Amino acid sequence: MKNIKSFGEHLRSLRENAGLTLKTVAEQIGVDTSLLAKIERNERQPSKSLIKDAALFFKVDEKELTKLYLSDVIAYKILDEEGDISILEVAETKVKYLTAVKNEK
């Protein structure tokens, strides 16, 4: 499980691996330095535009960053509700169902 990172941890790794300061990255992607720091510490959630801008800046796949973010949202929601992994099985079935319904229209 050591390779699993939250969105914020991943963003911090990208920044640190590039040898950049919080201030530099924040300026380049157009956010406040304190907001970026909070996102890296998982205290705030990124917006869609921040994810897009970060992907462009770091030259990484936007879909992968979005996937990291959404998996955080789901994991924290399950933890907050004191749920377990079985919720994901039900959600997977619902996604398949809703995708089929959407494709019928």
Q: What is the pLDDT of residue 70?
A: 96
CB 20 within 8 A of CB 48: no
* pLDDT value of residue 4: 85
The answer to whether 7 and 72 are in contact (CB under 8 A) is yes
Residue pair 58/51 in contact (Cβ under 8 Å)? The answer is: no
pLDDT higher than 60, residue 15: yes
DSSP string, 19-78: T--HHHHHHHHT--HHHHHHHHTTSSPPPHHHHHHHHHHHT--HHHHHHHHHHHHHHHHH
Question: What domains appear along the chain, each with residue ranges and CATH number?
Answer: 7-104 (1.10.260.40)
CA distance 64 to 51: 10
Confidence of residue 2 (pLDDT cuts 50, 70, 90): low
- pTM of the predicted structure, to 2 decimals: 0.84
State pLDDT tens for residues 34-87.
999 999 999 999 999 999 999 999 999 999 999 999 999 999 999 998 888 899
